[in-house]
Amino acid sequence: MREGQARADLASNAGARGGDLALQAAAQSEHPAIAAAARAIAAHKDVPGALMPILHAVQHDLGCIPAEAVQPIAEALNLSRAEVHGVITFYPHFRQTPPGRHVVEICRAESCQAMGGERIAAHARKKLGCDFHATSADGAFTLEPVYCLGLCAQSPAMLIDGVPYARLTPKRFDTILGYVKEDA
């Protein structure tokens, strides 16, 4: 972490802080987080309210927003690192550490509860051997809660890697998990 930060600082100090030179240096960085941040900055820097699109782009690229990406983003947008960190940690969708190979998001809101959603949640925890906000021991699945997927007429529902599944039963959950794992 400290080493990564030093590299981030080095990258940005190649030019005036936050300037084009710094961005070019960051783009050349061997550190994937810094390079990804540089790409995201280059693509979105000039849109109004650029921070959220930049953070989404980094997470899309790397699966998470590593600490090393914070510095170049903060400089490019003339923000403090604390401000960028504050935004990353405010939003549940943003992760600071890489997830498992697949992300399983199970809805825990009222409509799914009305149709046995808590039973699915308990089953998933048991099946994956981990709690919510955690990853199964084999690194295959990260389990996350989600509060409504808009599939409420076919509860319970979940997303796996952005693909929706509804009318879940424990058996259907196992079947889906099986072929998601096979596909990988």
Partner 1 sequence: MSNSATSPAIPAATAAVADGSNVTVYVPRDAAALAVGADEVVRAIQDEAARRGQAVRIIRNGSRGLLWLEPLVEIATPGGRMAYGPVQAEDVGALFDADWLHGGTHALGHGLTEEIPYLKQQERLTFARVGITDPLDLDDYQAHGGLAGLRRALAMTPAQVVEEVQNSGLRGRGGAAFPTGIKWKTVLTTPAEQKYIVCNADEGDSGTFADRMLMEGDPYVLIEGMAIAGVAVDATMGYIYVRSEYPHAIAALEDAIARARAAGWLGNDILGSGKRFDLEVRKGAGAYICGEETSLLESLEGKRGVVRAKPPLPAISGLFGKPTVINNVISLASVPIILARGAAYYRDFGVGRSQGTLPFQLAGNLKHGGLVEKAFGLTLRELLYDFGGGSASGRPLRAVQVGGPLGAYLPESQWDVPLDYEAYVKISAMIGHGGLVAFDDTVDMQWMARYAMEFCAIESCGKCTPCRIGSTRGMETIDRIAARGADHEQQVHLLRDLCDTMLGGSLCALGGMAPYPVLSALNHFPQDFGVSTANADAAHPA
Residues near partner 1, by CB under 8 A? 47-53, 55-56, 77, 83, 86-87, 90-94, 105, 107, 109-115, 146-155, 157, 159, 162-167, 179, 183
Q: Which is nearer to partner 1, 5 or 154 (CB)?
A: 154
How does 113-144 read in b/e, with b if 16+ C-beta sit within 10 Å? Answer: eebbbeebbebbeebbebebeebbeeebbbbb
Q: What is the DSSP letter of 98?
A: -
Compute the distance between CA of residue 74 and CA of residue 29 in angstroms, rounded to an integer.
17
Cβ at position 184, least distance to partner 1 in Å: 13
First to last CA, the chain: 30
Smallest gap, in angstroms, from Cβ of residue 7 to partner 1? 25
Q: Which is nearer to partner 1, 27 or 109 (CB)?
A: 109
Rg (CA), the chain: 19
CB of 138 to partner 1, least distance (A): 22
Smaller CB separation from partner 1, 14 or 148: 148
